Amino acid sequence: MATYYDIFGQKVQYLSSDPANVTEGQVWYNSTSNTAKYQSFVASSSWATGGNMNDANNGNGGGDSQTSAVALQGTLGSVTTVEEYDGSTWTNGPNSSNTYGSRSAGGASASAGLIGGYTNSPFTTYTALEEWNGSSFSGGGSSNTPGYGQGTCYGVNLNSLGWVGRDGPNNTANEHYDGSTWTTVNPSPPGQRGGNLAGVLTSAIMASGFVPPNNTTVNSFDYDGTSWTAITNLSPGDDSLNSGSGATTSSAYMKYGGNREPSLGRIATSDFWNGSAWSSEVSLPAPRSGSNGGTATSYTGALMFGGTPSGTTTFEFQAAGATTKTIATS
């Protein structure tokens, strides 16, 4: 059998970490992860199915990548079991303390927060934060203003979360969390609440949201930690709530799926924001909403899990362009 050296005239590089500036076709062995890898190129974006969740779940969570994500909350009054994703399988973890509906999660797979929520009879909204460290929950600082709304919390770890424009009595409240205390800062754009938030405290995006009385809007905003600046609107029909997102800054964000209001149904379309313009990305195989499965590190690792319909489904996004793949032995 011919070896790599026989074919290409050189040995596979043996490296302690993945190299920078790799070229298409380059092969190397990562001695830290004990995996052989190569740089590939894909001509078009795609959504593939990932592992199914154990429980029908609203999929409200965070994560680092498609191989390290966490779903922190289910539906009102029922699922509180955490599920963790390793790229192929969801594994049940501990339960969160509260069964509030429509809580919002943000952060990474081992450093995330689950904030707010509501209960019925009488309708009540909450300020409680539960902190997730990758293995257990503990109580965090309560927000100054109660509320709920799945896509409204953002950030890459527990020490820098934002919660903004949530539903509830003060629906433009904007707060920053430093790991112990929530601080109220400039409110979100007037009247726009429940939007899809992603990014970090100094560079975030709010895509769509509710405007009075109960309509979703194509209006979107960039947030620099202090001020809100209107950006280009989404295309008509792509306004939606509870859609997935993935971003580390406000200039590399993807919005996918969600539900349009009032009563306009779910959508399957995906839109990518590069910091200056929206472009259409490949659609999900079916309209979905209720999910918030963006990963914290990159839109290219976008993951959509749980939601409606069939709340156990997971979809994994792969962007067109260069991509690093692991060489399997079977």
Partner 1 sequence: MAKTYQYCVAENWGKGFITHADARKVEFTSFPGNVWRVNAHNQDANKWVAGVAGTHKTLSEAQAIVDAEVTQAQADWDAIPADDPRKTEGSPEYTPRPEDITLEE
Among 31, 33, 46, 136, binds partner 1 (CB under 8 A): 46
**Least distance (Å) between residue 272 CB and partner 1:** 17
CB of 168 to partner 1, least distance (A): 10
- Mapping DSSP to helix (H, G, I), strand (E, B) and coil, where does residue 102 land? coil
Q: How far is the CB of 70 from partner 1 (least distance, A)?
A: 17
Structural contact between residues 251 and 312, judged by C-beta atoms closer than 8 angstroms: no
Smallest separation, CB 82 to partner 1 (Å): 19
CA distances from 11 to 75, 113, 329 (A): 53, 46, 18
Of 201 and 302, which CB lies nearer to partner 1 in the complex structure? Answer: 302
DSSP string, 152-217: GEE-SSTTSEEEES-BSSSTT-EEEE-SS-EEE-SPPSTT-BS-EEEEETTEEEEE--EETTTEE-
Query: Site map for partner 1, 203-232, x if CB under 8 A?
Result: ----------xx------------------
Q: Whole-angstrom Cα distance, residue 302 to residue 116?
A: 24
- Count the neighbouring beta carbons within 10 Å of the beta carbon of residue 180: 10
Show the tokens assigned to 216.
């979703």
Q: How far is the CB of 285 from partner 1 (least distance, A)?
A: 4
Position among 28, 51, 74, 164 found at the interface with partner 1 (CB under 8 A): 51
Closest separation between CB of residue 327 and partner 1, Å? 16
- The Cα–Cα gap between 65 and 88 comes to 12
Give the SS3 label for residue 311.
coil
As measured in angstroms, the least distance from the Cβ of 318 to partner 1 is 5
How many Å apart are CA 299 and CA 107, to the nearest integer? 14
Binding mask 94-113 for partner 1 (x = CB under 8 A): -------xx-----------
Which helix (H) or strand (E) element contains residue 6? helix 4-8
The closest alpha carbon to 308, from 235, 223, 244, 262, belongs to: 244
Q: Which of 130, 167, 222, 239 binds partner 1 (CB under 8 A)?
A: 167
**Of 12, 27, 36, 76, the one binding partner 1 by CB under 8 A:** 76
CA-wise closest residue to 249 among 197, 304, 302, 178: 197
Contacting residue, 13, 17, 49, 91, with partner 1 by CB under 8 A: 49
Among 50, 146, 246, 306, the residue binding partner 1 under the rule CB under 8 A is 50
The contact mask relative to partner 1 for 6-45 (x = CB under 8 A, - = no) is ------------------------------------xxx-
Cβ pair 229, 252 in contact under 8 A? no
263 binds partner 1 (CB under 8 A): yes
Nearer to partner 1, 94 or 265 (CB): 265
For residue 200, which amino acid is it?
A: V
Side-chain half-sphere CA neighbours of 26 within 13 A: 17
Residue with smaller CB distance to partner 1, 46 or 202:
46
Binding mask 290-329 for partner 1 (x = CB under 8 A): ------------------xxx--xx-x-x-----------
Binding flag, residue 280, partner 1 (CB under 8 A)? no
Q: Which residues of this chain interact with partner 1, rule CB under 8 A?
A: 42-44, 46-52, 76, 88-89, 101-102, 118, 120, 148-149, 167, 213-214, 262-263, 265, 282, 285-286, 308-310, 313-314, 316, 318
